[in-house]
Structure 1
Amino acid sequence: MNQPFVITAHDIEKAASRIDGHVLRTPLVEAPRLSELTGAQVLVKHENMQATASFKERGAVNKLSLLTQEEKKRGVIAMSAGNHAQAVAYHARRFDIPATIVMPETTPLVKVENTRRQGARIVLYGETLYESGDKAREIAAAEGLVLIHPYDDPAIMAGQGTVALEMLADRPDLDVLIIPVGGGGLMAGNAIAARVINPDIELIGVEAELFPSFLNVLNNTSQPVGGPTLAEGIAVKAVGELTLPVIRSLVRDIVPVSEALIERAVNAYASLHHTLAEGAGAAGLAAMLKEPARYAGRKVGLVLCGGNIDTRMLAGVMIRELERERRIVSLRLTSDDRPGLLGKVASLLGAEGANILEVSHSRRFLDVPAKGVSIEVTIETRNAEHSQMIEEKLAQNGFALHRLVA
């Protein structure tokens, strides 16, 4: 690693000393059920265990610790989709520094309220982090505040790089590190730290498919950037000027992952690893689910970088995954209208071991004959094979079937 970057491994080591005692040294945990799912030996770095449930505290503490007394008195301002906001607000309050946070209007409510509870002044502005950044710079200039950028700042990058220091201290035999990429602060800091410790380690970054910002820059392409993503924490349109050279030089690959894969990864963390991951936090696992053969048999370190997911969103994701696995199935049954029909359907489903979650009985649809009836039923089954068996049984008993997609 001969190319000079804005920070060095020594800067990351000094950051580790500064943040010691202020942030949690999170565990690197074996994940046997995720290993079974992917075919690799998976170890998860639980940054969702930080006080604000995100790695962002590392960079925030390092940056705040480097401010002069005069700067601390004036106060700080940050723009963030949520986790950087919470980290800056939380530790600014601990250090008795006034904090203003500019957040996109699309930021999940749970992140807005968590930040507000830390005592920060909240400004909601714009649809994207780029627009929020313009507003933050405007306020910083008008009020003399110190801007704390979420990723394009040497102190932030150095603080984030302490994740890899800890991971490789715990498990120096890791073959691969997979790290979510938004603006690139986490990836860049950890790439520098990891390469010094193990020059042969493979570094993989992960972007949401809807926000291929680094892929566009690195590959000189112009794929569309934007859209509603579950991984709003890495939904960044502009890559970091300071992080780009590091990622271009040290990172093996940037992998785009679909919304379906991100949902599947969030669900896997919850149901198999029994921990909360927001969309961005689950992106590394999503990359493994996309290309399991690439990691088969290798020791893979995942950074679960954040766990701030709205509980209603998590419930929706888990239900959608059950539907993808056909463990929850919605069917429309049509038949001649006759007494006891609904009871017959219930009896058939019960006899086959299905659990009825919801049922609707109607004669009003125009695609149903005047003497016919439509029954919409949502059932819970053991697996896809069980669902198929139930559908065949219903068809054998004279019901016309149409599977409904949520």
Structure 2
Amino acid sequence: MAEQLKKPNNHTQRPSRILVVDDDTMMRNLMYHLLKRYYLVDSVNNAKAAMEILQETEYDLLLLDVMMPGMNGLQLLSYLRAQPEYADLPVIIVTAMGGNDDIVRGLKLGANDYIIKPADTEVVLARVRTQITLKRALDENKQVMRELETVSELRTRLFRIAAHDLKNPLHNISLATNVLHSIAAEVDGVDSVLNNVQESVKTMDSILSAFLDVMAIQTGKLDFKMDELAMDVVVEQVTSQNRIAAYNKNIKLNVHDIHGIFVADFDRMVQIVGNLVSNAIKYSPFNSSIDIWTEEVNGFIRLCVRDQGPGVKEEERGKLFQEFSRTSNQPTGNEHSSGLGLWIIKQLVHHFGGAVGADFPPEGGSIFWVSVPVSEPQQIAQSAC
């Protein structure tokens, strides 16, 4: 059995290192001579010495005697498992025949395996090899994860830089078309061309904004400025932003009783409600109406946006708030849809302790809603800090 064990290939990986902790000199020598052919082996005779050498040297396995004077093996094990840097260090406890209680306690404290003295050499080699193999696999997985995280972070940074760099020329194009509008107002056909350019710029800007939001969400780098907000102020801002789009399709925005005070980020909340309203305009037929109102439900302010569109097929409703999801419905005015808007606002509203959803009345149309907790006095005070 011992002859079948292979030494590590030093050209591809470092040799594994084992620390033997045992107050019995004969046991330390036995383990050293048994393992030295296959591994690098160090040994100490007490827990304090083990703690000192562990701070200086990285080990792949600890062979730990339970019964030692001073701090015993189980106490050392308990200490190590409480330290993050030793959480994944494999530990095999070594105990005398009949030490079942010690074995149970050791396993509960986080020991990976155990050996009973007098130790059978084949058992020792087999159990050591198993733990070394598992440790090496774990280390390799961690290294792969670190490399993937590095690549992912680099990719995200490059994408974010590219997106920001694209937004600047788009802004310049938009300003230029505004100037050209005033210069060429009397030239036939120019207004139509410039309008198309402006719509293309708006579409690109919307795509880039959504892309940047996705990057921020996936990397956990969303920034929020939390404040006490009034829902009617948010809705007023949103309807103002969407008035022209509604006018172009002769859609009437009916704003009913809007009330509620809550804590959130104003710009993000405008983005959330704005997405619901712009989607309603996008998928509503010409010459229709959209209703916007609020209601209080179990301590939450729910803002509802109802359209007179075709609704959503039952089999497609489950994917409404998924990333890049699209239904079979098409915008009625050939507007652009990225399939990201609803997914983004779902992630955003979760940061405010809220939720989003949709209902589909039997008489037709859709009701998309967002709910946020009604702010409590204590919550308002904390948000102001």
> TM-score scaled by structure 1?
0.21
Task: Name which structure has the greater RCO, CA cutoff 8 Å, separation 6+.
Answer: 1
> TM-score scaled by structure 2?
0.22
Q: In proportion to residue count, which structure has more helix? A: 2
